[in-house]
């Protein structure tokens, strides 16, 4: 390897995604996908694309989807940016809005892609430890003329911040760009989209991968005032990113328009989560309070490593992070169907009696 390449490779620490196993007989609770399929209206929209328009290029502005997102949140279309998954939206956000003279802030224990984007785009960052309850303490976040990003609910803890707390953070950081990553907000947390009209420095990012069951389609979006949205568009255009394809535009539009299906799916996931938390507590687990489609839990007597491996041996996969040490005994468990949840509980019972 040449010196040049080895220097680059040395500097970049890539994001390590959760495993997408080849085996099909697994109870897959490791990457926070939705256990339910997308709305039937999505499937109809995809079929219509195949029948009518696949030979034609897609609309480079995704206007149909932008309009549908704007309508859903009751904001002007000029407040909406769409991209290929919220990971792409976040990539453009880091490039366009989070490079400042001083390090940006994000929690220590959060979405592990944030430091990767910082490495890629040469952005300095400073992390702020979660408090003893694994919560973000907003009074720790003060940054004049800089950037702040955090997920709400946080990942992988699943803990949510009340709207009033986020507003408190916004009040003391009016000169910084504040990005709230709401990938998991629809499972019981409070969205800040309603604050965008009052805070020109607030950008909210969302994904269609979780609550709308479209992880395979790769669609995400951001909501913010026009100067922020224009900055994202400029980066997207300058870097010649792919526009959304016809499936993504039509499928995501149908998903966002089917509010009843979305609400029902979220309700089912939340009900399964509540039941699973009770079962795990009964088995001796400490479970952080979750408002996401996953939970973060540790058992007082068994290591995270051991539990993850024993579950895997029983064809159940959950996410385990060996670093940092503070969370190495936790398992991050995606909420599946009731049947999957029951399989998990039975397997844990079996593991814990041995
Ligand atoms: N933000 C957070 C906090 C996430 O956990 C994820 C999913 N791994 C994403 C954003 C990205 O989601 P997607 O690219 O599927 O939209």
User: Can you tell me the ipTM of this complex?
Assistant: 0.99
pLDDT at 242: 84
Q: Tell how far the Cα of 34 is from the centroid of ligand 1, in angstroms.
A: 13
Residue ranges for the chain with pLDDT beneath 70: 1-12, 22-23
Structural contact between residues 210 and 33, judged by C-beta atoms closer than 8 angstroms: yes
Between CA 26 and CA 324 the distance in angstroms is 27
For ligand 1, atom 1, the nearest C-alpha belongs to 183
Between CA 270 and CA 210 the distance in angstroms is 13
Which atom of ligand 1 has the smallest separation from the CA of 154?
3
- Residue with token string 């579950």: 311
* Nearest Cα to Cα of residue 220 among 98, 88, 110, 114: 88
Q: Are strands 220-224 and 294-299 parallel, antiparallel or unpaired?
A: unpaired
* CA 3 to the chain's CA centroid: 36
Q: Tell how far the Cα of 55 is from the centroid of ligand 1, in angstroms.
A: 31
pLDDT at 8: 56
Q: Tell how far the Cα of 52 is from the centroid of ligand 1, in angstroms.
A: 31
Between CA 255 and CA 94 the distance in angstroms is 27
DSSP 259-277: HHHHHHHHHHHHHHHHHHH
Say if residue 153 is preceded by a cis peptide, omega within 30 of 0.
yes
Q: Which residues have C-beta atoms less than 6 Å from ligand 1?
A: 85-87, 111, 151, 155, 181, 183, 207, 209, 215, 220
For ligand 1, atom 8, the nearest C-alpha belongs to 31
Q: Tell how far the Cα of 33 is from the centroid of ligand 1, in angstroms.
A: 10
Under DSSP, the state recorded for 324 is S
pLDDT at 194: 98
Which strand (E) or helix (H) includes residue 49? helix 40-52
Q: Are strands 177-181 and 147-151 parallel, antiparallel or unpaired?
A: parallel
Structural contact between residues 155 and 18, judged by C-beta atoms closer than 8 angstroms: no
Please, what is the average pLDDT of the chain? Answer: 94
* Nearest Cα to Cα of residue 290 among 261, 323, 258, 331: 331
pLDDT at 17: 76
In three-state secondary structure terms, 282 is helix
107, 184, 209, 296: residue to mutate for ligand 1 pocket, most atoms within 8 A of CB:
209
Between CA 64 and CA 220 the distance in angstroms is 14
For ligand 1, atom 6, the nearest C-alpha belongs to 183
Q: Tell how far the Cα of 9 is from the centroid of ligand 1, in angstroms.
A: 24
pLDDT at 25: 80
Crossing angle, helix 113-121 and helix 85-97, to 10 degrees? 50
Q: Tell how far the Cα of 82 is from the centroid of ligand 1, in angstroms.
A: 14
Which phi and psi angles does 37 have, rounded to 5°? -70, 170
Domains of the chain, start order: 17-37+260-353 (3.90.1150.10), 40-257 (3.40.640.10)
Q: Tell how far the Cα of 139 is from the centroid of ligand 1, in angstroms.
A: 26
Q: Tell how far the Cα of 208 is from the centroid of ligand 1, in angstroms.
A: 9
pLDDT at 241: 75
pLDDT at 6: 59
86, 158, 182, 321: residue to mutate for ligand 1 pocket, most atoms within 8 A of CB:
86
């Amino acid at each position: 390897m040449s010196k040049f390449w080895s220097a680059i490779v040395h500097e970049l620490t890539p994001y390590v995604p959760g495993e997408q196993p080849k085996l099909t007989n697994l109870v897959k609770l490791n990457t926070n996908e939705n256990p339910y399929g997308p709305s039937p209206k999505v499937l109809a929209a995809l079929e219509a694309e195949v029948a009518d328009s696949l030979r034609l290029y897609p609309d480079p502005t995704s206007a149909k989807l932008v309009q549908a997102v704007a309508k859903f949140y009751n904001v002007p279309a000029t407040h909406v940016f769409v991209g290929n998954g919220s990971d792409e939206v976040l990539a453009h956000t880091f490039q366009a809005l989070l490079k400042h003279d001083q390090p940006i802030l994000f929690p220590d224990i959060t979405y592990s892609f944030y430091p990767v984007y910082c490495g890629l785009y040469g952005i300095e960052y400073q992390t702020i430890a979660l408090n003893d309850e694994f919560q973000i303490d907003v009074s720790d976040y003060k940054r004049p003329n800089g950037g702040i990003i955090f997920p709400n609910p946080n990942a992988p803890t699943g803990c949510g911040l009340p709207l009033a707390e986020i507003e408190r953070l916004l009040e003391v950081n009016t000169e910084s760009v504040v990005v709230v990553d709401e990938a998991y907000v629809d499972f019981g947390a409070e969205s800040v989209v309603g604050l965008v009209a009052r805070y020109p420095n607030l950008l909210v990012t969302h994904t269609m991968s979780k609550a709308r069951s479209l992880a395979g389609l790769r669609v995400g979006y951001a909501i913010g005032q026009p100067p922020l949205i224009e900055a994202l568009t400029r980066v997207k255009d300058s870097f010649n990113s792919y526009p959304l394809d016809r499936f993504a535009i039509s499928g995501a539009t149908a998903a966002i328009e089917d509010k009843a299906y979305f609400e029902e799916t979220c309700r089912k996931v939340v009900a399964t989560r509540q039941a699973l938390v009770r079962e795990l507590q009964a088995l001796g687990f400490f479970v952080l309070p979750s408002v996401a489609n996953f939970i973060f839990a540790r058992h007082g007597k068994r290591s995270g490593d051991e539990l993850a491996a024993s579950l895997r041996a029983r064809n159940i996969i959950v996410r385990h992070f060996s670093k940092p040490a503070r969370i190495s005994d936790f398992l991050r468990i995606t909420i599946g169907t009731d049947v999957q949840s029951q399989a998990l509980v039975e397997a844990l019972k079996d593991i814990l009696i041995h």
